Amino acid sequence: MKLLTGNDLKTGAVTWWTGNDWSIHVEDAVDVTGQEDEIAQREEAARRVNVPYAIDAEMHDGSPRPAHIKDRVRALGPTVRPDLTLKPADPEIGQWVI
């Protein structure tokens, strides 16, 4: 599967395409296979996202998990600052990323 991701124009926050909007939570992301260019072009023109691009992913325990470690770090935040990640209380976070 493919996920569409980018950064919020104003805040720079990492965002994921949910099918009709952008979310900061990767678990909200949907498969955009075959539609990624069209959605990216439309959403960037609407200034709802900055430099969107598609990445490879797979389903993992019912949620999408980016295929590459860089995108997984990007999805949650720096592994060395659990206080700043999106799931600071999740004990499995390290395994999900690494």
Kindly list the residues in this chain that would bind another protein in the complex (CB under 8 A): 7, 9-14, 44, 47, 50-51, 67-70, 73-74, 77-81, 84
- The nearer residue to another protein, 32 or 97, going by C-beta atoms, is 97
Write phi, then psi, for 70 (nearest 5 degrees).
-60, -40
The pairing of strands 2-7 and 14-17 is: antiparallel
How far apart, in Å, are the Cα atoms of 69 and each of 9, 34, 88? Answer: 24, 23, 18
Q: Please, which residue, 31 or 44, has the CB nearer to another protein?
A: 44
Closest CB 70 distance from another protein, rounded Å = 6
With respect to another protein, which residue has the nearer C-beta, 19 or 41? 41
**Torsion over CA: 31, 91, 7, 70 (sign):** negative
Least separation in angstroms between CB 33 and another protein: 20
